[in-house]
Amino acid sequence: MKPDAFLIAGTTASGKSHAALELAKRLGGVIINADSMQVYREARILTARPSDEDMTMVPHRLYGHVPAREAYSTGRYQSDAAEALAEARRLRRTPIFVGGTGLYFNALTRGLSDMPAVPAGVRAAARAYLDEIGNERFHAQLAQRDPELAMQLKTGDRQRLLRAFEVFEASGKPLSYWQTHAGQPVLQGLRLATFVFEIPRALLRERIETRFREMIARGAMAEALALADLEPSLPAAKIIGRRELLACHHGTLTKDEAIARSVVATRQYAKRQDTWFRHQLAEWPRLDATDGRNIVTKLLSLV
């Protein structure tokens, strides 16, 4: 029986976007983004979003629809994904969710808690408090409010520390509580074909470096400069390559150093993705994506 939806997870540069495109062309599908950085409008090159040519071949949804100066959340993604799914079903197109953000796949298949809204005043007060007392003391303060989550967070992870602190201040309950009280998944009740793409580590390292050098040639520096004034706590500020290219522009890194650091950061990110998929999506079939030419045939043979 044909699946109601396909879900393709994988590390950055694993070839999942190409596979999703070929699958969508074959099935008459619509591709729905499941990558937290590819939602940002001003960073098409740095986040390796699909090209204009690819996006004219089949419908693509939730790519570049958010300004980089907005704090886009997983909760908003869940709502947007539900709308994209409803549209695909109205058009009788097969939805194909593709990306590398584990929490987005959680929203699709496991559901998210009904996370409370955090007022702007609470956000501002939390940022000011962190700036005042520093990361280590702020982490200690969080540990008193949410010891379970604090154990998982590094003192240097400013964004996640702030998020956990804000949620507690706004709701009186720790973020770990809300994370374990899941709501309805976006894809609840549907027949799903799920896959995690894998390629050999050496090939992945090679692809990552080749792709970043291509980004430079296509204008990644201009994107980085356009995003130079981002508030550090914004999710888009973590786009890999932005800080490195800005340092290159200001003369504190050479071009080769900026490329090397960006490549290392991307490889480290891919490793974190792989670890998350192995633990959180352990039941999803693994698919060797080395041969991109025949990947759709291999994928469909497993459905």
Selection from 267, 73, 35 nearest residue 167 by Cα: 73
Same domain, 243 and 156: no
| Domain span at 248 | 5-112+183-301
The segments of the chain whose pLDDT lies below 70 read 114-115, 179-182
pLDDT score, position 182: 61
pLDDT score, position 171: 84
Backbone torsions φ then ψ of 68, nearest 5 degrees: -65, -20
Same domain, 90 and 213: yes
- CATH (domain of 153): 1.10.20.140
pLDDT score, position 287: 95
Same domain, 221 and 274: yes
Same domain, 272 and 139: no
Cα separation, 140 vs 136, in Å, equals 6
Same domain, 139 and 247: no
Which residue type sits at 123?
R
Same domain, 296 and 200: yes
Same domain, 89 and 161: no
- CATH (domain of 106): 3.40.50.300
Same domain, 141 and 212: no
Same domain, 139 and 207: no
Tally of structural domains, the chain: 2
pLDDT score, position 163: 87
Same domain, 106 and 208: yes
Same domain, 84 and 218: yes
The three-state (H, E, C) secondary structure of the chain, written as one string: CCCCEEEEEECCCCCHHHHHHHHHHHHCEEEEECCCCCCECCCCCCCCCCCHHHHHHCCEECCCCECCCCCCCHHHHHHHHHHHHHHHHHCCCEEEEEECCHHHHHHHHCCCCCCCCCCHHHHHHHHHHHHHHCHHHHHHHHHHHCHHHHCCCCCCCHHHHHHHHHHHHHHCCCHHHHHCCCCCCCCCCCCEEEEEEECCHHHHHHHHHHHHHHHHHHCHHHHHHHCCCCCCCCHHHHCCCHHHHHHHHCCCCCHHHHHHHHHHHHHHHHHHHHHHHHHHCCCCCEEECCCHHHHHHHHHHCC
Same domain, 69 and 194: yes
